[in-house]
Amino acid sequence: MAGGFPLYIDLKGNNCTVFGGGRAAAARVATLLDFGAKITVISPELCEELRRLDEEGRIRYIPRRYYRGDCTSSYLCVAATNNDAVNIAISDECKAKSIAVNVLSPAAFGTFRFPAVVTREGLTVSVAGDPDRPDQAAVDLMCAEIAHRFPEMYEEVRRRKEALLQGARPEE
């Protein structure tokens, strides 16, 4: 995926399927839940974080491996298994059905990436790194720095956004 177009989509109530039950899958699930997605996790096993979310009823858990056809009713999918061949098969199915897919490994098979995200008071800022040089720690640091280092700018953007939402022209 050369470059990449930054796009914000509404996930509220949309079915998202995550394949894999490890910590990487749990991180993707947490992000999707933050944005209101309905999550199904398909994996033979779950890490502790995902097991807790299942017990709390926040995700639907299907305890088995991926089967062709599992992506059919999904708005988007995440391939986070520990098997690259399975992740590629998930990617192929999603692409054939025009379903957005994030692939952890090999990442080049995905159609979208997860950026680092900071949301405060209704304002969301996201930062994504170069897909050929993934350094998520640096991206996370940059995203946090935008929110913490530039509070005046952050507050100004939030104030202008509020004024626009209320139909008023923001003060210059």
Task: Decide which of 109, 127, 148 is a domain's last residue.
Answer: 109
Is pLDDT of 172 > 60? Answer: no
The DSSP letter of residue 44 is S
Single-letter amino acid code for the residue at 157: V
Q: Under DSSP, is residue 138 helix (H, G, I), strand (E, B) or coil? A: helix
Do 85 and 28 sit in the same domain of this protein? yes
Q: What pLDDT, on a 0 to 100 scale, did the predictor assign at position 167?
A: 56
Domain that holds residue 135: 116-165
Residue 4 within any structural domain of the chain: no
Do 103 and 140 sit in the same domain of this protein? no
Do 102 and 21 sit in the same domain of this protein? yes
What is the pTM (predicted TM-score) of this model? 0.79
Beta bridge partners of 62: 42
Do 28 and 85 sit in the same domain of this protein? yes
Tell me the per-residue pLDDT of 146-169, one tens digit each, with 9 for 90 and over: 667 777 666 666 666 566 566 554
Beta bridge partners of 15: 38
Do 27 and 55 sit in the same domain of this protein? yes
Q: Are 43 and 19 in contact (CB under 8 A)?
A: yes
Tell me the per-residue pLDDT of 109-130, one tens digit each, with 9 for 90 and over: 999 988 777 777 777 777 776 6
Between 9-18, 23-32, 73-82, 151-160, the lowest mean confidence (pLDDT) is in 151-160
Number of domains in the chain: 2
Do 100 and 155 sit in the same domain of this protein? no
Residues 6+ apart with CB under 8 A from 78: 16, 17, 18, 19, 20, 25, 28, 32, 101, 102, 103, 104
